[in-house]
């Protein structure tokens, strides 16, 4: 954003993304921010800015100290450090209304609880997340861009173009770590893939330095089973390369042991994947058990195998389930509905401050 641009003075919403690593929070922020910018003058502060929203530099932020609009600007934080910085800026004279979104499903530390009490508005991404908060909150489910994440015209052709063996793929996306249940997925694949050679397994996600040994153990398990050519660890991919991988897979396995929300579930639904999901995060409110997917207990390899096998045995059944998943994503989890609900929270926060 040009500091001399009059739009800086009109800016109403600041969306900070103040984190050194690309994460699920970043992915969520990137998806919703451009939609908010369609409703209100908004700008992104920090790394990994998406298209469709102005970028705010830290020099611009300093300039805003002396620019006062009709109402205080929204500072929409999603992390503790962003809440802290918002409070500091406010104390130093920036005219800000502070909003925080919580996706965590766990008891919060004392500092998180204190920070949330200082906010002018709180959003929880699910009823489960809200239950851990000690302050009033508005529940707004995550949405998904159903134009970006959509079924392909020919899924079989897209997968065949990868050169991987078989006719179908099953995917598990997210950081490779125990919390994400990558080990549960690999163990299930070691049991199932020898029975269903038409399938290949694909793991998409970063491996942080502290998880290198964990991944080596997973690779060793795959090699010991003789499945190296049928299990592919793709690592962290460029953002724009992820949607096509949903379009290449037929079944999506969500295996997290614990999760804030589980945005990948929505991405897979919108892409027309059949879902097999652990009851973590918001899976129980996202997945219609038996209709758009199958729910299983977290960390239970036997249950995961039992849920996936019928879909591998009858790919047409998985494809029909994926079509129903797409319909549910469009009907219940559109990102524009999420953006409008967030904008309504902003309006309430502004009204509350004025009162």
Phi, psi of 17 (to 5 degrees): -135, 80
Q: What is the pLDDT along the chain (355 residues), one digit of tens a residue?
A: 544 454 688 899 999 999 888 777 888 899 899 999 999 999 999 999 999 999 999 999 999 998 877 789 999 999 999 999 999 999 999 999 999 999 888 899 999 999 999 999 999 998 888 999 989 999 998 899 999 999 999 999 999 999 999 999 999 999 999 999 999 999 999 999 999 999 999 999 999 999 999 999 999 999 999 999 999 999 999 989 999 999 999 999 999 998 888 889 999 999 999 999 999 988 998 999 999 999 999 999 999 999 999 999 999 999 999 999 999 999 999 999 999 999 999 999 998 766 6
Give the residue among 274, 222, 253, 249 at the shortest CA–CA distance from 167: 249
Range(s) within the chain of domains with CATH label 3.40.50.2000:
7-143+335-354, 155-332
**Nearest by Cα to 237 from 185, 155, 189, 176:** 176
Q: How far apart are CA 18 and CA 174, in angstroms?
A: 20
The whole-model pTM stands at 0.85
Instruction: Give burial (CB, 10 Å; 0-12/13-18/19+) of 263.
Output: buried
Pairing type for strands 199-204 and 168-173 reads parallel
CATH code of the region 155-332: 3.40.50.2000
**Radius of gyration over every alpha carbon of the chain, rounded to an integer in angstroms:** 22
User: Which architecture, in CATH terms, is 7-143+335-354?
Assistant: 3-Layer(aba) Sandwich (3.40)
Helix (H, G, I), strand (E, B) or coil at 321: helix
């Amino acid at each position: 954003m040009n500091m001399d641009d009059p739009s800086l003075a009109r800016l109403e919403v600041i969306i900070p993304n103040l984190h050194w690593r690309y994460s699920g929070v970043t992915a969520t922020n990137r998806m919703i921010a451009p939609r908010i910018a369609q409703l209100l003058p908004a700008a992104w502060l920090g790394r990994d800015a998406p298209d469709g929203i102005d970028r705010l530099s830290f020099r611009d932020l300093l300039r805003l100290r002396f620019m006062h609009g009709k109402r205080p600007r929204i500072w929409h934080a999603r992390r503790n450090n962003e809440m802290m910085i918002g409070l500091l800026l406010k104390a130093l004279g920036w005219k800000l209304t502070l909003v925080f979104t919580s996706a965590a499903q766990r008891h919060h530390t004392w500092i998180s609880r204190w920070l949330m009490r200082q906010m002018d508005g709180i959003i929880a991404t699910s009823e489960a997340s809200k239950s851990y908060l000690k302050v009033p909150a508005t529940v707004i489910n995550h949405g998904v861009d159903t134009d970006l994440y959509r079924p392909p015209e020919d899924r079989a052709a897209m997968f065949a173009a990868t050169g991987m063996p078989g006719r179908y793929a099953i995917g598990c996306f997210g950081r490779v770590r125990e919390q994400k249940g990558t080990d549960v997925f690999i163990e299930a694949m070691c049991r199932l893939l020898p029975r269903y050679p038409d399938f290949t397994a694909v793991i998409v996600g970063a491996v942080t330095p502290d998880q290198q040994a964990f991944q080596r153990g997973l690779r060793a398990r795959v090699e010991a089973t003789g499945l190296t050519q049928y299990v592919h660890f793709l690592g962290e991919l460029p953002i724009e390369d992820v949607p096509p991988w949903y379009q290449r897979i037929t079944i999506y396995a969500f295996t997290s042991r614990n999760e804030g929300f589980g945005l990948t579930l929505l991405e897979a639904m919108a892409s027309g994947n059949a879902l097999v999901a652990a009851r973590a995060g918001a899976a129980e409110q996202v997945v219609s058990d038996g209709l758009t997917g199958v729910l299983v207990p977290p960390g239970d390899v036997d249950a995961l195998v039992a849920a996936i096998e019928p879909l591998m045995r009858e790919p047409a059944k998985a494809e029909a389930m994926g079509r129903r998943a797409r319909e549910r994503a469009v009907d219940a989890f559109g990102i524009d509905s999420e953006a409008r609900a967030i904008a309504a929270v902003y309006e309430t926060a502004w009204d509350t401050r004025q009162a």
